[in-house]
């Protein structure tokens, strides 16, 4: 294997920050822009978001394979070029059908970039992997703060300005690639005697917790899509919606270190952590039914976010406990894939429910379905644990 200078952490984190900031200029606007500006239905907006998310999943998969089998730096470059070009074309061409086409291409490129940066994170040797990925999670939320908050102030100046700012962020990312990421690749050689990986066989509790994860993300994604139109329909402004994501990120940044401090205790009560987090996620939705004031939206978002940081990281840990040593990466890959699938389906599922009934039914369904699937998982987990020895 060839040697290479290690990428400095500041450039790793800055690359991730810029990528997430650029994306946050665009994705929160999709439902609002298509419904309010282009006159499309919520279902159509949901379909576009579905294809955007699936394009990102495909970008993740292809990016990961290219990163492992080809050139790491050039893999990232392909993603940067795709997302920069697509976003740049959105500046002059953001009507129908140009907008959804370039949005999907942007999602594909973004998926490659995200995977490449996470791949570079695994190459860091002077810091523990847990530290590197925790800071990446922090920077992703910081990018969310910058992007969504800026959109609330910039959108009144025109949608063209919003896309131009996103394009500028990706041009900055390209400049950083030229200076810091270019040339940082390792040549891999096959190791004789490596056995092919066996097929993955999940225990039933793993299957049920992954199904729960998909459902949670399906309804969580309503905040990224349909709830924006719901708020605008109540007379609130885009700035109000954007500020909710600032609250989301602030809560994550503030309370995640608290959970980390109590990690030993929480690890001993992992099931309780998952159930309590999912309960918080579920009870956040009924508040929206009676949200006649902006403060109720703030309360709902706060509860949702506390549930998010309590349950979602714990699900990764839970699945890891069932994973054989030789398949830990593959198990976590399924966790990420299920989360991505839920995010892809969420906007479309929500739009279909809204178009067929109402927002009220959507919020009621979210609570009922989340509680039901979590209850099934709890039952399966308890039954399985009684008949098997699990290293808790």
For residues 88 and 40, which has the higher predicted lDDT (pLDDT)? 88
Which of the listed residues 143, 162, 186 is the one where a domain comes to its end? 186
Would residue 194 count as lying in a domain?
A: no
Domains contained in the chain, number: 2
Give me the pLDDT at residue 1, please.
Answer: 43
The closest of 156, 143, 320, 177 to 240, measured between CA atoms, is: 156
- Please enumerate in sequence order all residues whose Cβ is within 8 A of that of 249, keeping only pairs 6 or more positions apart, or say none: 141, 142, 144, 145
Residue 216, pLDDT above cutoff 80: yes
- Please enumerate in sequence order all residues whose Cβ is within 8 A of that of 193, keeping only pairs 6 or more positions apart, or say none: none
389 and 348 within one domain: yes
pLDDT band at 325 (very low <50, low <70, confident <90, very high): low
Give me the pLDDT at residue 392, please.
Answer: 46
Q: Quick one: average pLDDT of 74-86? A: 92
Give me the pLDDT at residue 186, please.
Answer: 57
Q: In the chain, pLDDT over 90 holds for what percent of residues?
A: 33
359 and 271 within one domain: yes
304 and 245 within one domain: yes
State the Cα angle at 321 between 316 and 327, rounded to 5°: 85
Cα distance between residue 281 and residue 303, in whole Å:
7
Would residue 100 count as lying in a domain?
A: yes
Burial of 309 (0-12, 13-18, 19+ CB in 10 A): buried
Would residue 193 count as lying in a domain?
A: no
Residue 79, pLDDT above cutoff 90: yes
Give me the pLDDT at residue 326, please.
Answer: 53
Which of the listed residues 129, 158, 186 is the one where a domain comes to its end? 186
Would residue 1 count as lying in a domain?
A: no
83 and 136 within one domain: yes
Residue 190, pLDDT above cutoff 90: no
219 and 147 within one domain: no
Instruction: Report CA-CA distances (Å) from 349 to 39, 46, 54.
Output: 19, 8, 14
Q: Quick one: average pLDDT of 372-381? A: 95
332 and 234 within one domain: yes
Q: For 65-74, 119-128, 199-208, 294-303, which range has the lowest pLDDT when averaged over its residues?
A: 119-128
349 and 214 within one domain: yes
Give me the pLDDT at residue 348, please.
Answer: 84
pLDDT band at 304 (very low <50, low <70, confident <90, very high): very high
Instruction: Write the DSSP symbol of residue 36.
Output: I
- Please enumerate in sequence order all residues whose Cβ is within 8 A of that of 369, keeping only pairs 6 or more positions apart, or say none: 215, 219
pLDDT in tens, 346-374: 888 998 999 899 999 999 999 999 999 99
Domain interval for residue 98:
7-186
Give me the pLDDT at residue 195, please.
Answer: 45
Give me the pLDDT at residue 196, please.
Answer: 47
Residue 154, pLDDT above cutoff 70: yes
Cα distance between residue 32 and residue 240, in whole Å:
13
Q: Quick one: average pLDDT of 229-247? A: 87
209 and 170 within one domain: no
Residue 111, pLDDT above cutoff 80: yes
CATH code for position 100? 1.20.1250.20
291 and 147 within one domain: no
Cα distance between residue 183 and residue 3, in whole Å:
11
Cα distance between residue 272 and residue 267, in whole Å:
10
Give me the pLDDT at residue 85, please.
Answer: 95
pLDDT band at 193 (very low <50, low <70, confident <90, very high): very low
Q: Quick one: average pLDDT of 137-166? A: 82
Q: For 23-32, 73-82, 197-206, which range has the lowest pLDDT when averaged over its residues?
A: 197-206
Residue with tokens 């579905």: 50
54 and 136 within one domain: yes
CB neighbour burial string for 243-260, b if at least 16 within 10 angstroms, e if fewer? bbbbebbebbeeebeebe
164 and 82 within one domain: yes
Burial of 211 (0-12, 13-18, 19+ CB in 10 A): middle
Would residue 191 count as lying in a domain?
A: no
Q: Quick one: average pLDDT of 272-299? A: 94
Would residue 287 count as lying in a domain?
A: yes
Q: Where are the alpha helices (DSSP H) in the chain?
A: 9-24, 30-32, 42-69, 72-90, 98-121, 129-154, 159-176, 204-220, 226-233, 238-261, 263-268, 270-284, 286-289, 294-322, 328-356, 359-387
- Please enumerate in sequence order all residues whose Cβ is within 8 A of that of 203, keeping only pairs 6 or more positions apart, or say none: 322, 384, 388
231 and 365 within one domain: yes
Would residue 2 count as lying in a domain?
A: no
Would residue 192 count as lying in a domain?
A: no
Residue 75, pLDDT above cutoff 60: yes
Which of the listed residues 186, 218, 235 is the one where a domain comes to its end? 186
């Amino acid at each position: 294997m060839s040697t290479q200078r290690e990428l400095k952490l500041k450039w790793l984190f800055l690359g991730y920050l810029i990528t997430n900031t650029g994306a946050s200029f665009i994705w929160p606007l999709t439902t609002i822009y298509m419904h309010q500006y282009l006159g499309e239905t919520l279902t159509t907006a949901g379909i576009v978001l579905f294809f955007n998310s699936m394009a990102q999943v495909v970008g993740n998969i292809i990016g990961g394979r290219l990163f492992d089998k080809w050139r790491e730096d050039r893999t990232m470059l392909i993603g940067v070029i795709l997302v920069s070009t697509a976003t740049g074309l959105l500046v002059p061409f953001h009507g129908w059908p140009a907008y959804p086409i370039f949005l999907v291409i942007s999602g594909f490129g973004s998926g490659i970039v995200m995977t490449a940066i996470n791949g570079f994170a695994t190459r860091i040797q002077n810091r523990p992997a847990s530290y590197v990925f925790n800071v990446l999670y922090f920077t992703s939320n910081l990018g969310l703060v910058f992007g969504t908050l800026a959109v609330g102030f910039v959108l009144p100046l025109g949608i063209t300005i919003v896309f131009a700012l996103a394009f500028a962020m990706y041009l900055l990312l390209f400049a950083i690639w030229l200076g810091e990421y270019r040339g940082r690749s390792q040549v891999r050689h096959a190791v004789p005697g490596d056995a092919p990986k066996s097929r993955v066989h999940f225990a039933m509790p793993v299957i049920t917790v992954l199904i729960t994860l998909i459902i949670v993300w399906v309804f969580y994604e309503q905040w990224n899509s349909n709830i924006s139109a719901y708020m605008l329909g109540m007379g609130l402004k885009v700035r109000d919606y954007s500020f909710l994501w600032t609250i989301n990120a602030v809560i994550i940044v503030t309370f995640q270190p608290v959970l980390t401090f109590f990690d030993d205790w929480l690890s001993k009560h992992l099931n309780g952590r998952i159930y309590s987090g999912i309960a918080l996620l579920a009870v956040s939705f009924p508040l929206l039914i009676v949200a006649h004031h902006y403060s109720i939206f703030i309360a709902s978002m706060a509860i949702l976010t506390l549930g998010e940081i309590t349950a979602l990281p714990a699900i990764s840990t839970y699945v890891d406990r069932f994973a054989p040593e030789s398949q830990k990466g593959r198990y976590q890959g399924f966790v990420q894939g299920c989360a991505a699938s839920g995010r892809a389906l969420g906007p479309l599922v929500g739009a279909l429910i809204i178009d067929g009934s109402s927002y009220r039914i959507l919020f009621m369904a979210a609570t009922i379905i989340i509680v039901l699937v979590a209850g099934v998982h709890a039952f399966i987990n308890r039954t399985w644990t009684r008949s098997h020895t699990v290293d808790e």
